[in-house]
Each structure stands twice: as C-alpha cells, then as structure tokens.
C-alpha cells in the first residue's frame, strides 16, 4: 500500500478552508496600507503639518478666546477648588466606572479576550487618538496590531474592530434622536438639538441599513462591498492614493463571521456598548452637580441632550478627540439651557479632564507594557477563531486526515 502523503502545509498538515479564510482576512487587515503608493515625503509632512496646525489653532482659540467669553478662569478655579471630599469621591467613582466599561464590548466582540487584556487594548488605542496624527484611524490600527501580536485570529480581530466601531457609531448617532424625543415629550426646549437629531436619524438609518443589508445575504454583501470599494477608490484618487485592498469578497467573508457571533452575542455587545457610552455621561452629570449647576438650572434630560450633541461633535475628525470643539459646543448648549456660566465652564473642563487624563495615563502604561504581556488565551495562533469558522470544523478536518492515514 502506498503511504499517505499530505499535500501542502508545513509540518504535514493539509490546509483547510479555515486557514485560507484566515489568510484572506489577514491580507484584508494588514496589506491595505502596504498596497498604497508612497507619497512624496515633503508633501506628506506638509499635509500633516497643516492638519496639526489647524487642530492646534482650534484648541488654542477655544481656551484663550472662546471659553473666557463665557466665564473668567478665576471664577472657574474658585468653583473647582471648593469641591468637597464627598463630591471628589463621587467623581472618582464615576471615572472608575467609565474606565471599567471600556473592556466589555471588546470581550463580547472577540471571544477569548479577557478583561485586563481588553482594558489594555482599549486604553492604549484610545490614548493614541488624542496624541497621534490620524485620530481614530490610528486607534483602530493600534488595537488590531496589539491583538494580532498576542496571537488572535486575523479574521476575528477584523470582525471585532468593525463591530465595536459600528455599534459605537450607532450609539453616538442615536443619542441625539432619543434626547430630542424626550425633551419634546417633556415640554423642554429641543431647538438646539433639532438639526442634530434630524442629521443623526438620517446617518443612523444609513449605517444601520447598510450593515443590515450586508448581513442579509451573501450576494448583497458582495454588491455593497464592490460599490464601497469603487467609491473609496475614487475618493483616494483625489488625494493621489492607490486602490483599497478589499472588495465585495471581503464583505462576504466578514458576513460569514459576523452572523455566527451576532447570533450569540448581539445583545451583550449592545448592552455593553450602551453602558460604556452612558458611563461617560455620568461623569458629566456628576461634574455639573459637584460644581453647583443645579437641576433647576440644567435638568438631567437637558444635560443628556447637551452631552449627546457634544458626542457627535467630538466624532468629527478636526482635532484629536474633539479637543476645543467639544468644550465650546457643550458649554454653549448648557448655558443655553440655563446653566450659570462659571459653573458650566468649570463642569465642562472638569468633565474633559476626568475623561481624558486617566485614559492618557493608563494608555501610556499599556503602550509601554503590552509587548511584554501575553494573555493566556492568546498563546496560540488562532485564538478567537471560533467566530464564523467553528472549532468543530477544524476538528473534523484533522479527524479526516487521520482516517486517511
């Protein structure tokens, strides 16, 4: 009898569909930037310098010229330094809760990812959005790089990055709609939110509709992916960049993985995303009450409306983390609702400090240590592979190989 000789694969292992699919996913994730033509160094640095200059001008203009129009910084500091220990404890508790809610959405989107590794990823990537040119894109790339270095499956990482991004964006777009509806029903003044709510509704329906159509069927996912690739390529040509490395087939592979995960975890992903977003609002609400902006001036519903508008403003890629823009927008709406000027400015500045500074500190520690730390669940290549391509399938492939022998 002629002995069985496996075809292909290192170590005598026959490559299976999971391996091929993972190779495709890794290519989608890692080669997109490599296939872009390298721009001229002078032009690249000029664009970055102009973008940084505009962002810096907005930030400096906000803190030097705009915010002092609302309140004197001396009055703001007087309100902050008189904080009682009780309110300091409450503020620290809301900050701790906010930080703790970063990790659960990633744990839901990436099976096998534990709390501390998820917290490390989110703090490092979020901190990078405040520091590195490129904002959210840098954060997404850093998240993927860390998870891949830890040994997680490339397709599962792509899915987790995409789903957490979509769910967060849907929440940000949906909050102004909810706030406007609640203000209208309770007899409040929702004029400041009317335009934002209308635009948010259109964007929400567009994102949710495109995602739902992608999940609905394979052919639809392929058509949407090809259309998105054509649009992206046309936009990239305007800035003299090359074609994207993904197309409709990438969307089909994404759909296959997404269906398996969302069937089991859509509710967990949704609840943890909402908890993470609303914990940020709790920091603002605690800051308002701690610094003397009473419910008779700005109610909790009005504070939520102002915050929801600021979240939309902060998502605009003008300055890192919306620095400057969020402060102006949030202060304007709070004062418009009836908040005293010194208290509103002080609350906004305290809120921004409490939501940015801890993340920068923890993110710096995470960025310095993630290469030395390897989660136990990711010690093997393929962790997280249970998404879309199940472990039993791999077991059946191995069993078939042994049976042939």
- Which two tokens mark 77? 């500091």
For residue 205, give every residue at least 6 positions away whose Cβ sits within 8 Å of its Cβ, in sequence order, or none.
none
Sign of the CA dihedral with 226 first, then 231, 234, and 239 last: negative
- Which two tokens mark 96? 């701790």
- Helices 154-185/17-30 angle, 10° precision: 60
CA-CA-CA-CA dihedral for 306, 312, 317, 319, to nearest 10? 10
CA 346 to chain centre: 27
pLDDT of residue 88: 94
Please give the full DSSP string across 56-104, using - where no structure is assigned. Answer: HHHHHHIIIIIHHHH--HHHHHHHHHT--HHHHHHHHHHHHHHHHTTHH
Question: Which among 155, 120, 141, 143 is positioned nearest to 375, based on CA atoms?
Answer: 120
Interval 191-214 mean pLDDT: 83
Quick: pLDDT tens for 318-359.
777 788 889 889 999 999 899 998 899 999 999 999 999 999
Local confidence band at 3 (pLDDT 50, 70, 90 cut-offs): very low
How confident is the prediction for the chain on average, in pLDDT? Answer: 79
The answer, yes or no, to whether residue 367 has pLDDT greater than 90, is no
Local confidence band at 136 (pLDDT 50, 70, 90 cut-offs): confident
- Which of 33-37, 132-136, 146-150 ranks highest by mean pLDDT? 146-150
For residue 242, give every residue at least 6 positions away whose Cβ sits within 8 Å of its Cβ, in sequence order, or none.
35, 36, 37, 236
For residue 236, give every residue at least 6 positions away whose Cβ sits within 8 Å of its Cβ, in sequence order, or none.
242, 243, 244
Question: Which among 284, 318, 109, 34 is positioned nearest to 121, based on CA atoms?
Answer: 109
The answer, yes or no, to whether residue 53 has pLDDT greater than 70, is no
| Element containing residue 201 per DSSP (H, E) | helix 191-216
Count how many Cα atoms sit within 13 Å of the Cα of residue 40 in the half-sphere of its side chain.
5
Contact 114, 377 (CB under 8 A): yes
pLDDT of residue 187: 77
Among the listed ranges 37-41, 76-80, 287-291, 325-329, which one has the minimum average pLDDT value?
A: 37-41
Residue 152 bridge partners (DSSP): 383
Question: Which among 341, 305, 285, 327 is positioned nearest to 90, based on CA atoms?
Answer: 285
CA distance 378 to 232: 34
Between the CA of residue 290 and those of 42, 78, 88, 382, what are the distances in Å? Answer: 49, 13, 8, 48
Local confidence band at 375 (pLDDT 50, 70, 90 cut-offs): low
Between the CA of residue 167 and those of 163, 174, 208, 238, 274, what are the distances in Å? Answer: 6, 10, 9, 30, 9
- Which two tokens mark 391? 């472990």
CA distance 165 to 211: 12
Measured at the alpha carbon of residue 186, what is the angle toward residues 325 and 178, in degrees to the nearest 5?
A: 45
pLDDT of residue 218: 87
- Helices 191-216/248-290 angle, 10° precision: 150
> 292-297 long-range CB contacts below 8 Å, 24 or more apart?
292/79, 292/340, 292/343, 293/334, 293/339, 293/340, 293/343, 293/344, 293/347, 297/337, 297/338, 297/339, 297/340, 297/343
Provide Rg for the chain, Cα atoms.
24
Count how many Cα atoms sit within 13 Å of the Cα of residue 6 in the half-sphere of its side chain.
17
Number of H helices, E strands in the chain: 16, 0
- Which two tokens mark 15? 């490559």
Quick: pLDDT tens for 258-290.
999 999 999 999 999 999 999 999 999 999 999
């Amino acid at each position: 009898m002629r002995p069985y000789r496996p075809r292909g694969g290192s170590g005598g292992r026959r490559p299976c569909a999971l391996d091929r699919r993972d190779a495709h996913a890794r290519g989608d994730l890692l080669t997109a930037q490599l296939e872009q033509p390298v721009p001229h160094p002078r032009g690249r640095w000029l664009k970055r310098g102009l973008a940084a200059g505009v962002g810096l001008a907005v930030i400096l203009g906000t803190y030097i010229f705009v915010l002092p129009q609302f309140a004197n910084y001396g009055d703001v500091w007087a309100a902050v330094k008189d904080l009682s220990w009780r309110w300091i404890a409450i503020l620290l508790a809301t900050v701790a809760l906010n930080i703790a809610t970063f990790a659960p959405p990633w744990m839901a989107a990436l099976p096998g990812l534990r709390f501390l590794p998820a917290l490390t990823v989110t703090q490092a990537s979020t901190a990078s959005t405040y520091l590195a040119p490129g904002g959210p894109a840098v954060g997404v790339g850093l998240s993927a790089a860390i998870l891949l270095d830890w040994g997680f499956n490339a397709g599962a990482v792509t899915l987790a990055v995409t789903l957490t991004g979509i769910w967060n964006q849907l929440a940000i777009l949906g909050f102004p709609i909810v706030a406007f509806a609640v203000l209208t029903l309770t007899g409040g003044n929702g004029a400041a939110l009317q335009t934002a709510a209308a635009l948010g509704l259109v964007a929400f329906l567009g994102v949710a509709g495109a995602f739902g159509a992608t999940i609905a069927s394979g052919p639809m996912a392929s058509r949407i992916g090809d259309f998105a690739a054509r649009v992206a390529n046309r936009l990239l040509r305007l800035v003299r960049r090359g074609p994207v490395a993904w197309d409709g087939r990438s969307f089909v592979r994404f759909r296959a993985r997404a269906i398996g995960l969302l069937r089991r975890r859509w509710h967990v992903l949704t609840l943890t995303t909402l908890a993470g977003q609303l914990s940020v609002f709790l920091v603002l609400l605690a800051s308002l009450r701690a610094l003397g902006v009473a419910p008779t001036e700005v109610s909790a519903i009005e504070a939520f409306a102002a915050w929801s508008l600021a979240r939309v403003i902060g998502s605009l890629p003008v300055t890192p983390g919306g620095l400057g823009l969020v402060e102006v927008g949030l202060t304007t709406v709070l004062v418009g609702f009836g908040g005293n000027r010194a208290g509103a400015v002080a609350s906004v500045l305290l809120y921004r400090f409490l939501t940015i500074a801890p993340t920068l500190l923890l993110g710096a520690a995470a960025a310095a240590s993630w290469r030395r730390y390897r989660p136990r669940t990711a010690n093997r290549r393929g962790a997280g592979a249970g998404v879309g391509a199940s472990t039993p399938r791999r077991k059946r492939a191995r069993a078939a190989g042994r049976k042939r022998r």
